[in-house]
């Protein structure tokens, strides 16, 4: 845990200065470090390079990792689950696959987000009118407010 705390402290001034935020740090076997950063408008490759160089200056020769370590600094990407509330705010309007902590799996549209909850609408599929049947009232989407503490996994649905 000490290495994650150190990395967080080392990059905090850079993140603050460039209006970026830390999403996650993954350390695998003392040989590979993955640092995920983001911003409300996206992150540039040059910013990832700057953070990588900053971390290399601290890590090289520190003895915290093996000499042959790998360091990856990037945005979380579309295939990684959302981790921090700030990530939700810039993805309003997107469709998500949500797994709640109770195991419930849902496909929902994000319509709002704050520091403690995400607000979703259920997806309503249009009903096909069958020949000779009376017109049915359209089903309205339901709104669900889900605290982040109840979201185990939130993945953006990618449509091709």
Residue 32's Cβ-count burial label (10 Å; 0-12, 13-18, 19+) is middle
pLDDT in tens, 55-112: 999 988 788 888 889 999 999 888 889 999 999 998 999 999 999 999 999 999 999 9
Q: Tell me the C-alpha distance between 109 and 126, whole Å.
A: 16
Q: Could you state, in order of their start, the residue ranges of all structural domains in the chain? A: 2-74, 85-156
Q: CATH assignment of 85-156, given 2.30.30, 2.40.10, 1.20.120, 2.20.200?
A: 2.30.30
CA 74, chain centre distance (Å): 12
Written as six digits, the tokens of 126 are 């249009």
Identical fold between 2-74 and 85-156 = no
CA 57, chain centre distance (Å): 27
pLDDT for position 137: 62
Does the CA dihedral 85-9-49-81 come out positive or negative?
Answer: negative
3-state secondary structure of 68: coil
pLDDT in tens, 16-65: 999 999 999 999 887 899 999 999 888 999 999 999 999 999 988 788 88
In words, the CATH class of domain 2-74 is alpha beta
């Amino acid at each position: 845990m000490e290495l994650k705390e150190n990395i967080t402290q080392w990059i905090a001034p850079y993140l603050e200065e460039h209006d970026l935020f830390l999403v996650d740090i993954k350390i695998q076997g003392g040989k590979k470090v993955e640092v995920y950063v983001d911003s409300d408008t996206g992150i540039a490759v040059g910013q990832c390079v700057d953070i990588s160089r900053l971390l290399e200056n601290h890590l090289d020769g520190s003895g915290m990792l093996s000499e042959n370590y790998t360091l990856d600094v990037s945005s979380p990407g579309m295939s990684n689950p959302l981790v921090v509330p700030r990530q939700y705010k810039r993805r309003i309007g997107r469709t998500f696959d949500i797994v709640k902590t109770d195991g419930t799996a849902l496909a929902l549209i994000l319509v709002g987000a704050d520091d403690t909850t995400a607000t979703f609408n259920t997806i309503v599929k249009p009903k096909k009118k069958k020949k000779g049947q009376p017109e049915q009232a359209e089903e309205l989407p339901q709104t669900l407010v889900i605290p982040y503490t109840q979201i185990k996994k939130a993945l953006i649905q990618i449509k091709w």
